Structure 1
């Protein structure tokens, strides 16, 4: 990029503000941004990592990948094309990406993209029984795959059964590991700036070891008996590699898929627990993916009931806490 280009601070702030509306595991928001002239840098914020649930940082990097994608989309909508260099410094693995910005005409769907970013949320309420057509699930998987990850809709009865069984197994196992259970509890109603409010979590009448939900027993007056219902769509993101590059790309693909689903009126709920435990991750690789690839994230997709009220928005860390506007130090 030319050294004469200077992106206004207000534009940098707006791009990062929109990027940080991205989904993240337990709403940890594990990212840090630095801006100067025409460049943004995205770093992993290890202070927000989950040591028990996510010791390798897979969920953290996927979360940052989602924020990276939303930064790219936001920049384009605001009239700036982002040229992305992922993992630009091998000696600094927490520097996940550099985005060099250049003026460019906004795409024709810019307003819709910004609206999708603003309205996207994790709505864990029970989906309707109306199934998502296989063609639409395939389309969402294709959108995710355009961002360097690989994705496929699980539409076969046997593969869906095996996937659901492994999600249930992972959820039960995590509740039986004290460190993981305590970590999950610690991130519920954690603070006014991060964590998951009980107000967005459905209640559940399920017994602890029957069909448990992650973050079960919230404040929403709704009951549910299964983590995955028979009419839910399932999409798995995967790669032949299980490394930081694959994780970052999976986050970008997840965000692209999620924004497209939001525009279409669909809800997406990640089921990351199945890849967080070695036992269920390996089983998913062999029993669902035929041993050919590593699962990176499973997501369920469905329709919310017409007329349901909007959820309380999950909190976000202040922009000043995640963004350094520091001209002269990025280059």
Structure 2
């Protein structure tokens, strides 16, 4: 089929060029804000019934078909998320096929790093060059508390292996007051001592199973204020690779330099520049992480839909994309903040 040369533009003049694929809802960690192992209210152990049966996940062939159609519509960037994408069987073969698709400019991966030491070389060989690694603590005991698993050393070895192979690495830190805010300086120092961009992300109330609490929320501006003793933060001119982050060169007083980013989906949202769609692990196409309007792509795929019908669904999802979300307004008004949907299926 001939590619549609008309860019995907929504009703607010945003060009949509970026597709995030959640390839699985399974994960080998149980982070308190994403897939907690115990109920925050009762303390009881959660049942694993929240995990999707494998048959409910899009197959690799289905994912590749959607990607090819999205490229025909002008999308050119893919990010693989989860859950933890590396736990899905045959993920390396899928990535190798994905990176060879003509018209796809870049494929990136978000991972928790648990399997990175084992998979780093194969990921590099398959064509992946940038990794976003989720890491909310540099202390092994606290890492275990946040993630439910005692494997910090394993994750750190994976990060070092990826660094040594030449991956461009971004470390994503979910900022939680009273939980890891005393480590913000250590993370900023990491950016000074390693070739990593460290990004602080505001704690988002996504998922009915998460443990989001207002008392744990801290604004990006307040995080930066806590780091002023580290040195001078010099705003970097926005680049395409920065995505939603406001990125700064950190010039330390001892002459060291690093790169630190702040992602503020609540206090300083970036909706006016959003260029993405999300395909969830169960095959729902979403125009916004914080909006539950979805299109059921899986049913179309398995119901014999033509390529044109699928592309129409993609176009319609773009046109449904909201101007923005209302989380900050709800926060200011003291309203409930929880957003429905499970983060491990949506893909953060």
Do these two structures clear the TM 0.5 threshold for a shared fold by scoring above it? no
Q: TM-score scaled by structure 1?
A: 0.25
Q: TM-score scaled by structure 2?
A: 0.24
- RCO greater where, 1 or 2, for CA within 8 Å and sep 6 or more? 1
